[in-house]
Structure 1
Amino acid sequence: MAHPDTPPTKHWDFSVDVEQIGWLTLDVKDNSVNVLSREVIGELETLVTHIENLGKAGTLVGVVLLSAKSGFIAGADISEFDQMSDPAVLPEALKRTHAIFQRIEDLRLPFVCGISGFCVGGGLELALACHYRIAVNDDATKLGFPEVNLGIFPGFAGTGRSIRQAGPVDAMQLMLTGKILRAKQAKALNLVDKLVRHPDQLRWEGRKAVLSKRKSEPAPLAKRALAFGPIRGRVAERMREEARKKARKENYPAPFALIDLFEKYGDDPKQMIAHEIDAFVPLMASPTAQNLRRVFFLSESLKRLGVKGKDKPKFTRVHVVGAGVMGGDIAAWCAYRGMMVTLQDMDMERIKPALDRAKKMFKKRLKTKQAVDAAMSRLEPDVEGKGIPRCDVLIEAVVEKLEIKQQIFSDAEQRLKPSAIMATNTSSIELERIAEALDNPSRLIGLHFFNPVAQLPLVEVIKSTLNDEESIRVGASFVLAIGKSPVVVKSAPGFLVNRALMPYMLEAVDRVEKGESPEQLDAAAVAFGMPMGPIELMDTVGLDVGAFVAKELGQKVPQDSRFAKLIAAGKLGRKTGEGFYKWEDGKAIKEKAPPHGNLPGLGRDLVQPLVDTAEVIVAEGVVESADMADIGMILGTGFAPFLGGPLKARQDGRA
């Protein structure tokens, strides 16, 4: 029951039972997840004072911290970050939170937390301030520090406490990569002390931990020794080398600032915590952090594009026509996400390579043979198309020939149930042309996936002049159901991503034709912030595909060009082992790039056609806003997230 003197709070519940155990439960109002907003932290401060007073009065033996929601705590409230980034506000707010967490750690009575669901960012930092941590060992429980994805690092004293518990190398890796751990992995790193099988066991185990006065032990000395003396400098330099492979310091300063902090104070967790705020504050207001927050909110906004409420459709069966690389990988991804999938092509010989690739992907992503076998059983070869009448979604992913696509949909329309989605994965043909063969052309939408399907999160949901809003919302719901991000695009040649990419890629190819080094051009694009250079990208897409899309967009490939000659010789890039580069084991074999005085500047010149075309696409209304163009290009091409997208970069004078 609630203690009579408990101060009233909006987001927390505190009660004391007959054994004098305090039960502190977080349930943030008007929010689907628990977040540590300034209001929530302010209320925690009030309750910590109350708990301290009860402890002094001898009427409380310990506290168990739990969540009333399915997840524990999803971190700080990101919606407050913009106002919090003010250097006049942020340091004091951080000092206040540091002090509250320290008071929890300093309590003389046991303070235990029970973790179910996600426990990330500030949520994990609060858990680490507790004396003992119990977590549910299931797939839903996730622990980690994803702050690096927002251009910062842990700021609620998580740097020092994680190093104390997990040791310097494991803790720093966790913070530098943003990797999310399962409960079992977190226990192996000493971030969790005990595992239970079910959330219902958290209260009982929390009670036992309080009554037994259990307390977590720090990492063993052998682990902590890697932060002592001169060895720490060498460890820090290795971390910098790894960080440089992934990002440039000027583009993503947070990992390098964290490594600097570790190099100075990593042998003393208390000193690391004491100096954490000084290193954290400049990052929060940096352009990188501001742009990454914008990208986060734009990504979240895409989740609202689907059907809401009781009318939300359910997708259990998918039928894919075309077992080539794209079709096969779409089918595999849907099976991986738990759907029953039938995969159709002309014969088993064409379907078998797709099944082999699927098994390889399942083995990589699913940890047990049982899970891999279950996923494979959901992916069924279907030469005769028997899955069509039963499916909720039909996706066509065959060769880019109008007549073939029209024939597939014309035949399927007669067999599909009325509620089924009918979708094409065309990369360039307008939907209106494909739909000419249909009795009800308004049924056909586009779902344009990107290669490799398992890695790229974007799916363009293509809306023709024949579609109504509802069919597009249902399409977006399906994209969200398979864990991808939908961006709605009007049916126009090349849609958004291909149309913006192609001038960028062809301009780079033209430079190679004129004698410039492909290695240097690729290095320049990467220095600018692209994940891959334009020549390597053309090889990855396939020179034949690039030439086809260029033709669809009205751009010519001269017959006497090296590009045309490579295609004529069957050297189509990565898939044939040679294009502009030779390829071995999926990697381009490159010569050393010649020196250049300003690689990022050259990269900026290279991306100009992409930025210019994105502006035209928005002006023509192909996407509804510059925001949608930016998030589409980031998710579909990996365009430098730290710049906020091509149009935000131009607005800021950085592209």
Structure 2
Amino acid sequence: MFEGLRFNHWKTSLDESGIVTLSLDRAGAHVNAISRAVLDELGQIVERLAIEKPVGVLIHSAKPFGFAVGADIKEFVQYAQHDTVLESIENGQRVFEALARLPCPTVAAIHGACMGGGTELILACRQRVAADDEKTRIGLPEVMLGIHPGWGGTARLPRLIGATEALPIMLTGRPLSAKRALALGVVDRLAPPAELLAEARSLLRRPHARPFAQRAKAWATNIWPVRQALAPMVIKQTAAKVRKEHYPAPFAAIEVWRRGGSSINQRLKLEARSVAKLAQTPTAQNLIRVFFLQERLKSQGSGTEHGIEHVHVVGAGVMGGDIAAWAAFKGFTVTLQDREMKFIQPALDRARELYEKKLKQPEKVQAAMARLRADVEGNGVKEADLAIEAIFENAQAKEALYAGIEPQFQADEILATNTSSIPLDELRKGLAKPQHFLGLHFFNPVAQMPLVEVVRHDSLDPGYEKRALAFCKAIGKLPVAVKGTPGFLVNRILMPYLLESMRLYNEGIPGPVLDKEAKKFGMPMGPIELADTVGLDVCASVGKELAPFLGLELPAGLEDRLEAGKRGKKDGQGLYTWHEGKAQKPEVDPDYVVPADLQDRMILPMVNEAVACLGDGVVDDADLLDAGVIFGTGFAPFRGGPIQYLRSEGVGIVRGKLERLAQRYGERFAPKNGWEHQALAKTGFEFENLTPTGDE
């Protein structure tokens, strides 16, 4: 059937029953990313199939790790830079539409990750069968890159399962499990992984009849009057979560669906033009840059064996207990030490809650709990490959603890501290082997925050730093190596923002106004709500350590609140009153006029400190700095990080604003060391420097 045609990325076979099997196996890669070459070959294959008319066509992946991770993002960047996105999108649409029009049954057999363009490929098939296991994930995550599906996703999914089910999948980017995909009708059958291809062939011979209720819902939610009535409601729900000026892609996807008629060609044309337009927005360019930054952080732990099986954590408070629970969740043997069992038990209880939520099945929960052991006596130190200290922020107490741990080490164990602010050059002074000591600074809540700062000092062995990076990768975290100066990277940049916001609060600016302005800039949570959530006691503790170094002062009234037991969310009282975990924010006078420079006063101290971190060499380069701040603080991802924000706004313009703020409010706003750094002079989006070292 395919005589004379040679393919690099597809394997083809024809069995005795007349079924053609197409196996996607992108050459030179561990995973399938759908490149132009992959599409062009598929186009040739489909063209031949349309002529030969086989009994059926089965499409699956020859890669063990999954079906397809989506479009090749590196190629997409090149198309955006050369303004050829529209042509590229239209090409992919043509190939998938030709597949959809084949005059024979087509079935996609899906295992592992099936994302973006991979999902659009399976949607172009008549039927779909998925492996019934936890690894199967089907999704359309394009909104996370500032665009929306472009190879038929917006045109086909709403018509397949109904708009009310399809729109949330496209607007959030969250993937579906195999069982959820079956319940919604995205796939027609599930099969044990070993029987996936056999089930796909069975489906080709006896196609699945979609239930009438599913077909009726798909039709009813896509007729013109329903689209016009439903779209404003979906827009309102989306606007409650993200701002259109920050993230235009979800709103564009809704509009494409609203305008899409009964003709597939018309819907595809709307989709292609919309994606091409979105590709030119700063949001898409910045979010794609963030994607590459994330891939770079992931790759930092590659190529090194961490050599860690047993982790010993000292300090069963919120941070220590949750670090221990997470390491056990990720498969490590963990011992958790504190002075008495009554301090450890709450951490074990939280761990069980985490495992029940994540693992669901009782036997898996029990297996995870068995890996996490209470250890009041500290006997686990002798067997540990990594010991993590997570006690209170006091240098003398930490040094005394190290004096008891280090002599029990046998060879190449790592000693780590979770300190959030104390310089490591200070903490390592009494150690016999300071070269084996480093910081592993996690963020609260540990299970949700992706970043870990791997903290250096002047005596650290680079090999141990690499092992620590590899350990972070093994527990599913994004590591960034930072200099061990006060506050490291994230807290050093975050603290000027929080302290200035609290100063503004003391000046009489209502908390809800401050929070609203920060969210208007793009922060995930306002500073007053954040301070209460982190805890005013934590803010004060870190602030005391950092304020002298940063040339700042703690805001008045903070100590009084702490003495009155008003630490924030955990006490129900802080800068706000809290009820059932929610801040009870006071009403603001509707005639209140927001000061014109309010947003600058909050945000620019962060940017100024980011420049100072660059000047002081806290991180290796500006891209790692942006990555650390985005994943450690949630700094407006659509802005690309503080350094990228500075470049887009104009270095001279932002520096001028700081100088004017310094004249008006004081020296704390004066531009710091680092404003002459060459990284600030870069323009545009230099994606080639961000390309991950691994596979797509």
Please report the TM-score for the alignment, with normalisation by the length of structure 1. Answer: 0.94
Which residue in the other structure is 1:10 paired with? 8
Which residue in the other structure is 1:64 paired with? 58
The partner residue of 2:106 within 108, 111, 116 is: 111
Partner SS state of residue 94, structure 1: helix
**1:163, CA displacement in angstroms?**
0.9
Partner SS state of residue 383, structure 2: coil
Q: Confirm or deny that 1:100 pairs with 2:95.
A: yes
Alignment of 1:306-455 (within 5 A): 306-308=301-303, 312-455=305-448
Which residue in the other structure is 1:496 paired with? 489
Q: How many residues align?
A: 646
Structure 1 distance, partners of 2:229, 2:19, is 47
Q: Which amino acid aligns with 2:428?
A: A
Which residue in the other structure is 1:162 paired with? 157
**1:561, CA displacement in angstroms?**
1.9
Partner SS state of residue 190, structure 2: strand
**1:600, CA displacement in angstroms?**
9.7
Partner SS state of residue 479, structure 2: strand
Larger RCO: 1 or 2 (CA < 8 Å, sep 6+): 2
Q: Which amino acid aligns with 2:56?
A: G
Partner SS state of residue 179, structure 1: coil
Q: Confirm or deny that 1:567 pairs with 2:565.
A: no
Do the aligned residues in 2 keep the contact of 1:249 with 1:256 (CA within 8 Å)?
A: yes
Partner SS state of residue 230, structure 1: helix
Structure 2 distance, partners of 1:486, 1:255, is 30
Q: Confirm or deny that 1:621 pairs with 2:614.
A: no
Q: Which amino acid aligns with 2:298?
A: K
State which drifts further: 571-580 or 151-160: 571-580
Which residue in the other structure is 2:644 paired with? 648
Alignment of 1:277-316 (within 5 A): 277-308=272-303, 312-316=305-309
State which drifts further: 393-402 or 93-102: 93-102
Do the aligned residues in 2 keep the contact of 1:117 with 1:140 (CA within 8 Å)?
A: yes
Partner SS state of residue 246, structure 1: coil
Structure 2 distance, partners of 1:145, 1:307, is 27
Do the aligned residues in 2 keep the contact of 1:528 with 1:604 (CA within 8 Å)?
A: no
Do the aligned residues in 1 keep the contact of 2:416 with 2:438 (CA within 8 Å)?
A: yes
Which residue in the other structure is 1:176 paired with? 171
Q: Which amino acid aligns with 2:360?
A: K
Partner SS state of residue 250, structure 1: coil
The partner residue of 1:509 within 494, 502, 505 is: 502
Q: Which amino acid aligns with 2:332?
A: M
Q: 1:269 to 1:598 in 2, by over 3 A?
A: farther
**1:505, CA displacement in angstroms?**
0.7
Q: Confirm or deny that 1:137 pairs with 2:132.
A: yes
Which residue in the other structure is 2:581 paired with? 586
Q: 1:514 to 1:315 in 2, by over 3 A?
A: same
Q: Which amino acid aligns with 2:99?
A: I
After superposition, the C-alpha distances for 1:158-197 in whole angstroms (9 at most, x for unaligned) are: 1121112211111101000111111111111111111111
After superposition, the C-alpha distances for 1:335-383 in whole angstroms (9 at most, x for unaligned) are: 2222222111100111122122222222332323333333223221111
Q: Which amino acid aligns with 2:637?
A: P
**1:87, CA displacement in angstroms?**
7.7
State which drifts further: 273-282 or 361-370: 361-370
Partner SS state of residue 414, structure 1: helix
Please report the TM-score for the alignment, with normalisation by the length of structure 2. Answer: 0.89
Structure 2 distance, partners of 1:51, 1:5, is 12
State which drifts further: 327-336 or 282-291: 327-336
Partner SS state of residue 188, structure 1: helix
State which drifts further: 165-174 or 359-368: 359-368
**1:97, CA displacement in angstroms?**
1.4
After superposition, the C-alpha distances for 1:64-109 in whole angstroms (9 at most, x for unaligned) are: 1121102101110001122222584222222221111111111112
**1:115, CA displacement in angstroms?**
0.8
Structure 2 distance, partners of 1:50, 1:226, is 36
Q: 1:294 to 1:54 in 2, by over 3 A?
A: same
Do the aligned residues in 2 keep the contact of 1:523 with 1:599 (CA within 8 Å)?
A: no
Do the aligned residues in 2 keep the contact of 1:524 with 1:600 (CA within 8 Å)?
A: no
Structure 2 distance, partners of 1:131, 1:118, is 20
The partner residue of 1:50 within 36, 48, 51 is: 48
Which residue in the other structure is 2:458 paired with? 465
Q: 1:337 to 1:238 in 2, by over 3 A?
A: farther
Which residue in the other structure is 2:544 paired with? 551
Q: Which amino acid aligns with 1:376?
A: M
Which residue in the other structure is 1:207 paired with? 201
Q: 1:439 to 1:266 in 2, by over 3 A?
A: farther
Q: Confirm or deny that 1:633 pairs with 2:626.
A: no
**1:598, CA displacement in angstroms?**
6.7
Structure 2 distance, partners of 1:136, 1:230, is 38
Do the aligned residues in 2 keep the contact of 1:524 with 1:599 (CA within 8 Å)?
A: no
Q: Confirm or deny that 1:602 pairs with 2:595.
A: no
State which drifts further: 178-187 or 566-575: 566-575
Q: Which amino acid aligns with 1:650?
A: L
Which residue in the other structure is 2:474 paired with? 481
Q: Which amino acid aligns with 1:69?
A: K
Q: Which amino acid aligns with 2:458?
A: T
Q: Which amino acid aligns with 1:580?
A: L
**Mind listing any 5+ residue stretches in structure 2 that lack a counterpart?**
655-696
Structure 1 distance, partners of 2:244, 2:614, is 32
Q: Which amino acid aligns with 2:140?
A: F
Which residue in the other structure is 2:680 paired with? none
State which drifts further: 532-541 or 551-560: 551-560
Which residue in the other structure is 1:252 paired with? 247
**1:601, CA displacement in angstroms?**
6.6
Structure 2 distance, partners of 1:4, 1:32, is 26
State which drifts further: 587-596 or 178-187: 587-596
**1:558, CA displacement in angstroms?**
6.6
**1:404, CA displacement in angstroms?**
1.4
Q: 1:135 to 1:498 in 2, by over 3 A?
A: same
Q: 1:217 to 1:163 in 2, by over 3 A?
A: farther
